[in-house]
Chain A
Amino acid sequence: MAIVAGIDIGNATTETALARVEGRDITFLATGISPTTGIKGTLQNMSGLRSSLGMALEKAGFKRGQYGAVDVIRLNRAAPVIGDVAMETVTETIVTESTMIGHNPSTPGGVGVGVGTTISFDALSRAAPGDSVIPAVESIHDYAVVASEIAKALERGVNVTAAICQSDDGVLIENRLPSVIPIVDEVSAIERVPLGMRCCVEVAPPGRVVELLANPYDIATLFELSPEETKQIVPVARALVGNRSAVVIRTPLGEVKERRIPAGELYIIGPQGKRTVNVEDGAEAIQNTVVACYPVDNIFGQPGTNVGGMMERVRLTMSDLTGIQIGDVYIRDLLAVDTLVPQKVVGGVAGEFSLESGVALAVMVKTEELPMRKLAAAVSQDLGVKVEVGGVEADMAIRGALTTPGTKPPVAILDLGAGSSDASFMRTDGTVELTHLAGAGNMVNTIIASELGIDSMDLAESIKRNPLCRVESAFHIRQEDGAVRFFNEPIDASAYGRVALLHEGDFLEPLMLNNINVERIRSTRRKAKQEVFVKNSIRALEQVAPGNNVRLVDYVVIVGGSAKDFEVANMVTNALARYGIVAGRGNIRSTEGPRNAVATGLVLSSVQQ
C-alpha cells in the first residue's frame, strides 16, 4: 500500500490529487489546489506546491505539514510553453488644438446649446450688452450669487448663453434663472478652461445624449473649420459620443501638435519563409497570416513601431523570467483579438478618454525544456519524499479526462487554462497528438480591463468569473438575465443603485465604474470569452484533429481552470455542436468537475507504468 500524490504545476494553479494505491487498485483520498508561485518549472514553485499538497493532506485526515505520510510524489513534465498578453492601439494618436470637457456630470443644469466667448465669472459684471459670453465659475462662488449675477447680466442685455461650473450646482443655478441656459457642472479643473475663446456648451434633455458636439460637421459649422481641421476634431467628437453634456472650446491655431506612431507590421516566419501583415489590417488578417505560416517558427514586430516595441517587451519579459537569452526566445503562436483601448484625449479638461481601436495579442513562447528534474530533486530534499517526474502533460491530461463518465477514445481534450489553451487528441490506438496555443484566461482579463478601463487585473478577473446584477432597492437586485432576487437583510448603502458582481454565497461586490451599465459589461465579457476561448478551441482542434478536420472528432472534453467558468464551457459546447461534436465540461473522477485532470492522470499512470 502506498500513498501517491499527483501534483500538476500549471501557469496559474498547482493542483494535487492524493490517492491510496494497493496493487492496481487506486482509492482517491482528497484533492488540493493553490495558486502557482513563480513561473512553472522553477524552484519558486515550492511554496505553492507545499500549500496545495498540505491542503490535500488535511482533507484526507492527515496533518497539514505531514508530508512524510506520502510515499511518492509524481510531478507533471510541464509543457515548455509560457504565454503572455499585450495590448496595442492601432489608430494613431492625434493631439487636437481644441479644449473639450466631455465628462458626464450626473446632474447638469438646463438644456440646449449655447455658443459664446469664455470669460471669468468676475468679468461677467463688466461684459458689454450684446456680447455672447459663457462664464467659467469657480467653486468659491455660492450658487445663489452666481444665479443673481447671471440674471443681472441678462437683464443688462448681455447674452449669457451658457455656463461652466466647478461645483455640483448646475441645477441649483438653473432653477434661479429667468431663462433656460445649458450649464455643465462638476468641472474640477476649471482653471484649465481657456478664457476669451470661442466655446460651445451643449446639454441634452434627460435620457438623451449630445448631438451637435458629437458630430464633427456640426463642430466644423460652429467653429468654421477647414476640412483638415475637421479631421483633427474627430477624436473630440468621438470622445463626446454618449455624453449628456459637453463643452468644446476652440483654442488658437499654432498649438496643433500631431504625432503619428505607425501601428507597424508583424513578420511571421514559417516553413515557407517570412510573411508580413500590417497590424492595422486587424485581428482577422493577422490570424489568417498566422495560419498560413503554420507551424510558426518565430514572430517579430517591425522595429520602431508600436507592435515592434510590444514584441520586444514580450521577449524581454520572457527572457527575464526564464533566464533564456533574448535572442533564443521563440514566439511560436499568436492570437490577435480586435479590441478597444481608451486613449486620453489631449486637450480634455476632465481627463477625457476616447475609445480607439486596438488589438490584443497573446503570444506563446517556447522555452528550453523546463528543469523539472531539478525541481523534483529540490522537492524531494525539502519534503523528504520520493519524487518522480511523470509523463508528458498532455498524456496525463487525457488519462485524467477519460475518468469523465461517458467518454472513450478517440477523444480530444481542450485544456483551457490561464496562460494557454492546449488541445490533445487520443486515437483508438492510444497515440496522442498535441498542440499549445496562445491566448486563454489572462487574455480575457486583459481585454475586459482595457475595454472597461480598469487598472486592476484582480477586478478584471472578478468580472470574468462572476455574473452581474444591479442593486435596485435596499432589499432586491436584478440579475443580468432579468431575474429578481430578494435579500432578508438590507444591502449595504455603498452598493445601493450600483452594478455589482454576484459572488458565490450571495456576496455582492459593487463596481465603482461610473456610467457603465450591466449590458455593456456583460457584452464586453462575453465577447472577450467568445473571441479567445471559442476561437482558440476551434483553432486548437483543427491542429490536432485527424486530417485537420474538426468534423472527424467525436468527443471533446473541456478541462482546465477556465472550463470552470460559468459560461465558457457552454459557449464552446454551442460552437462545437455545429460540427456535430459531443463537447462538454469534463467531470474528472465523476467528482472533480473540469479540475484536477493532470494530477489525476499522474496518479493513474503510477499504476499503469
Chain B
Amino acid sequence: MGAWFGRIGSSDALPEKMPAVWLVTDPSFSESRARFVADGCEEEGIPLAWDVKQGNADELARFASLRSQLEVGIGLDANGGAIALVAVTDKPYITRGADSSKRLRWLGQAAARISKSQPIPDEGGEKQAPAKPSIPTKAELSAEDEIAEIVRMATAALLKEMQEGGGERT
C-alpha cells in the first residue's frame, strides 16, 4: 500500500515534492473528517497532503493550492469547503457545504478530478449518469405493447388494402 494521505510535519507525511492535492483545514477539523476527503482523492488515484491553519475556507483553499504540486487546493472550515486553483486568483473555483462524509468525499474527488483535467463528479456521490445511451428500444417494449403494435399494424394494412381495392399492389 502506497502513501495516499499524510499530515504535514507528522511521521506519516507524504514525501516532499510528491504530486498531491493539498487540504488545509482550520484547527477545529478532526483527522477522521479529513480522511473522508482523502478517500475521495485516493479513489481517483491522487494523494492528499493535509495541513492545519487558521482562516476561512476560501483563504485556506487558496493557501493550499499555492503549496500543491498539482496546483489544486481544498480549504475547509466549520461552515463549508472550497476548492481553489492557482490559476484562478480572485476566488475559489468551487465552493460547497461540507456537512456530511459524502460531501467531504465529493470535495476530495472533485479536486482530484480537476488535477487530472477530468470533469467533476456528479453531485450526490455514487449515482453516475448512465454510461451508455438510453433511447427506449424495441427490447424495452413490454409484450403487451408489442401485441398492440402488431394488431395496429395489421389493422392498418387491412384498411389500406380495402381502401385501395387491391388494385395498386400487383
Contact = CB atoms under 8 A, between A and B. Distances in A.
B42 A261 contact: no
A103 interface: yes
15 contacts: A95-B139, A175-B1, A261-B138, A273-B170, A309-B153, A327-B160, A341-B135, A341-B137, A351-B130, A353-B133, A454-B135, A475-B87, A493-B93, A510-B119, A514-B131
A301 to B, nearest CB: 9
Contacts of A510: 119
Nearest to A105: B128
Contacts, number: 154
A472 B115 CA distance: 11
Contacts of A498: 119
B17 interface: no
A148 to B, nearest CB: 13
Contacts of B129: 512, 514
Q: Is the interface of B mostly helix, strand, loop or mixed?
A: loop
Contacts of A300: 169
Given A102-B132, A315-B160, 8 more contacts: A106-B128, A107-B45, A269-B168, A300-B169, A312-B153, A342-B135, A493-B94, A497-B118
A497 B39 contact: no
Contact of A497 (B109, B113, B150, B152): B113
Interface in A303-362: 303-304, 306, 308-309, 312, 315-316, 325-328, 341-344, 346, 350-353
Interface in B108-155: 109-110, 113-114, 116-121, 125-135, 137-140, 149-150, 152-154
A548 interface: no
Interface residues of A, number: 70
Interface in B85-115: 85, 87-88, 93-94, 109-110, 113-114
A352 B119 CA distance: 22
Contacts of A89: 137-138
A117 interface: no
A515 B4 CA distance: 27
Given A342-B137, A455-B134, A496 B153 contact: no
B42 to A, nearest CB: 6
Contacts of B138: 89, 93, 261, 306, 343
Given A474-B93, A496-B120, A176 B1 contact: yes
B120 A493 contact: yes
B139 A346 contact: yes
Contact of A269 (B135, B137, B169): B169
B142 to A, nearest CB: 13
B163 interface: yes
Interface string A463-490: 0000000001111000000000000001
B128 A514 contact: yes
B78 interface: no
A515 B154 contact: no
Contact of B137 (A169, A344, A496, A514): A344
A16 interface: no
A274 interface: yes
A29 interface: no
Contact of B126 (A168, A172, A326): A168
Interface in A158-191: 166-172, 175-176, 186, 188
Contacts of B110: 493
A390 B138 CA distance: 46
Can you list the 6 inter-chain pairs with the closest CB atoms, starting with the nearest? A453-B133, A327-B163, A497-B119, A303-B157, A353-B132, A103-B131
B31 interface: no
A475 B117 CA distance: 12
Interface string B46-88: 0000000000000000000000000000000000000001011
A105 B113 CA distance: 14
B76 to A, nearest CB: 17
Given A312-B153, A352-B132, A175 B42 contact: yes
B108 to A, nearest CB: 11
Contacts of B131: 103-104, 350, 514-515
B126 A186 contact: yes
Contacts of B152: 312
Interface in A112-160: 139, 143
B156 interface: yes
Interface string B27-41: 000000000000100
A342 B153 contact: no
Interface in A51-93: 89, 93
B132 A497 contact: no
Nearest to A343: B137
